[in-house]
Structure 1
Amino acid sequence: MADLFLLSKAQMRRIERYFPLSHGIARVDDRRVISGIVFVIRNGLRWRDAPGEYGPHKTIYNRFVRWSRLGVFNKIFAELARKAGKPSRLMIDATHLKAHRTAASLLKKGLFPRRIGRTKGGLNSKLHAVCDGQGRPVIMLLSEGQMSDYKGAALMLPVLPKARELLGDKGYDADWFRQALAERGITACIPSKSNRKKPINHDRELYRQRHKIENMFGRLKDWRRIHTRYDRCAHTFMSAICIAATVIFWL
């Protein structure tokens, strides 16, 4: 497996504590299967095209779907981000992720929402994220593509960690959002919209640091199954995003 991705033993020790307990017959090697999942998501492969060194492709796919339903990958991301400590600075933004026709083919069917919406760019999903001062994601939310930035911010607000300041673009210039941040002791560094009658000053030098969250989105989109959504179910797609964020920023 010299040319293939393989999690190190140190990386496995950090995440294996969050794996479900096996019952009855012992599971296939966790390190090999999880590495196969990462390889498929990063390279945008079909599950059947996973290299044979990772084992049967059905085993890799079934493990990914089963643990996605259990929220295992989401928990791993959240716990590793939490253990990094409370950030002194936060950044907030959102980006669109194009939905492939295979993901949008069952748009109206199913019990759970697929988080796919229609915008000028076609069918897509939207990833809302909050990062720390180093550009590492600490909170992520998946929504329909047409959801506005400030509505996504309202959903993430209850779990927003305490920080000294928060950087955001004009899409987050709303009085209620500024007030909510002030109540939490967070200084808002957000430019005013052009239609605001009385513009609010912001620290322009500090605002230049906001490129770090844009870089974070760029690194996530380097993974082909993140840049283009192939997964029909929202929970599996969100698990893929959490896996990418964990491997890139927290392992």
Structure 2
Amino acid sequence: MAPACQLVAGLASGKVLADRAYDADSLHDVILNEGGEPVIPPRRHRKYQHRYDKFAYRQRWGIEGFFAKLKQWRRVATRYDKLAANFLGFIKLASIMLWLK
């Protein structure tokens, strides 16, 4: 079983986001067997183009972009804080600063 399939197996049912690099029939089947809905677009060269949630796939770029901007803060990227509460507090502060820009 591929590493991506092992990560997905046993997750709660729902949508699973993955990148095009994980376009494999085995991963697609594991997601469907676990009761989830694949959000992995098939590659163009495939004969069988399986269905996926196009809206959810488009929305993931907003989330990835946010995390990329958040990691520009050195304190977030290196995680200097030892306590989870302090780290979460700075994540919230940095998120507010990004939102206000």
Q: Is the 8 A contact 1:172 1:190 kept in 2?
A: yes
Cα gap change, 1:210 to 1:241, in 2 (>3 Å) = farther
- Equivalent pairs, count: 85
Distance 1:241 1:180 in 2: 37
Partner in structure 2 of residue 208 of structure 1: 58
Cα gap change, 1:197 to 1:166, in 2 (>3 Å) = same
Letter in 1 for 2:8: L
Q: Is the 8 A contact 1:192 1:200 kept in 2?
A: yes
Distance 2:68 2:45 in 1: 30
TM-score (norm 2): 0.59
SS at match of 2:65: helix
- Return structure 1 stretches of 4+ with deviation > 6 angstroms: none
Q: Is 1:192 the counterpart of 2:19 in the alignment?
A: no
Identity %: 32
Structure with the higher strand share, 1 or 2: 1
Shift of 1:214: 0.8
CA shift digits 1:77-131 (9 cap, x unpaired): xxxxxxxxxxxxxxxxxxxxxxxxxxxxxxxxxxxxxxxxxxxxxxxxxxxxxxx
> Which 5+ residue runs of structure 1 have no aligned equivalent?
1-149, 227-236
RMSD of equivalent CA atoms:
3.2
Partner in structure 2 of residue 182 of structure 1: 32
Letter in 2 for 1:177: L
Distance 1:182 1:170 in 2: 17
Structure with the higher helix share, 1 or 2: 2
> Which 5+ residue runs of structure 2 have no aligned equivalent?
93-101
Letter in 2 for 1:213: I
Shift of 1:189: 1.6
Shift of 1:176: 0.8
Partner in structure 1 of residue 20 of structure 2: 170
Q: Which has the larger radius of gyration?
A: 1
Shift of 1:195: 2.5
Return the structure number with greater relative CO, CA threshold 8 A, min gap 6.
Answer: 1
TM-score (norm 1): 0.28
